[in-house]
Amino acid sequence: MAAPHPASASAPDDAATSGRSAYERELYWASEPAPPIEESIAGLKDAFAELAERLRTDANALQPEIDPGLLAGSPARSRFKKSLFRVFRPVGRRYDRMGADIAELSTLLAKRVAALEAATQAMHWSLGALEAYARELKTREAPQLGRGASVPDDYYWHFEGFMRGSAEALDARLRLYEGRARELLDRHPARDPALWLDVGCGRGEFASILRDWGFRVMGVDISEEAVDACLALGIDAVQGDAVEFLASYSGEPLAAVSGIQIIEHLPRELWLPMIREAHNVLGPGGALLLETINPLNLRALSSSFFGDLTHAWPAHPETLRLMAESVGFARVEIDYLNIDERGEGMDFCLWAVKA
């Protein structure tokens, strides 16, 4: 049976529809305010089913060869009516069968609509659950340089030393950037040493090399232990978030900003803001250097990226290139580093120069 329509000031009362079939009730309600969707669909489905059954019964019922009403009247009129009956009777029968078929198709359509409505309700429920989960995620603190409170500093630095190898090997890898650094030094007079900001400076390995090359160096890192290690080496360093530090920086224009193996620690939504802020704090001709794991090398992914609990997402080289170009860097280059035995870079660096 069709679901009853709710009583309201504008809805028809039971007396107005009592004794009517589902099909007749639907016709009556067609001129009234629409009921709730689930009740309308249920009533429509039952009305179509009832109509299909009625038309199919009429179509299959035995019909007399001659309608008794055709025999009334004068013989001439009777013969004329019987002639018309014989001509139009097949058409009427086909019309009856066609009407029954249409009604059955309508019944099927109503069933499909009811199923679709049920599926839509389930989708709305799932969407609501996803929205609730998204809101929960947004309330969580975003990881800063990848080292959240769940990864203690002592464990992280022990892990860092294990993954990056000996101090000698790390020093050799970082000195690969000397040619790039000399390019910047040539633009600055000796009396005015260029200022280089190293974000995610760690314990000052790269900052120490930059100082040896002739730069004034400033570092920023989320780790208190890393900042203390830099200060012990005489390197100016502060504790803080990389993107926030760049956004609030108001000092002299920088010759370069570097981030060695930090972009993969950041949430993806912070990559573009970081690159944009770096572009803003650089002086004319200044450069951004970002080094990270090469995701195009599956061995690098399996051995380096997935081994670190603080990694968020691997950065594709072309993604970083497009981001750098989109914020206004005039020259953007990609170099592949630390070549493995198959000739593929384990890491890559982005070198972006401001106009």
- Model confidence pLDDT, tens digit, residues 151-177: 565 555 555 555 555 678 788 889 999
Q: In this predicted structure, what is the pLDDT of residue 168?
A: 81
pTM of the shown model: 0.57
Q: Above 80 in pLDDT, residue 199?
A: yes
Assign 1 a pLDDT band (cuts: 50, 70, 90): very low
Which residue ranges form the domains of the chain, and what is each CATH number?
14-139 (no CATH), 153-353 (3.40.50.150)
Q: Average pLDDT, stretch 38-55?
A: 65
* Residue 303 pLDDT > 70: yes
Lowest mean pLDDT among 99-113, 180-194, 279-293: 99-113
Per-residue pLDDT for 221 more than 60? yes
Distance CA 319, CA 198 (A): 22
Predicted confidence (pLDDT) at residue 282 exceeds the cutoff of 90: yes
pLDDT digit string (tens) for 106-123? 777 777 777 777 777 777
Q: Is the pLDDT of residue 99 over 60?
A: yes
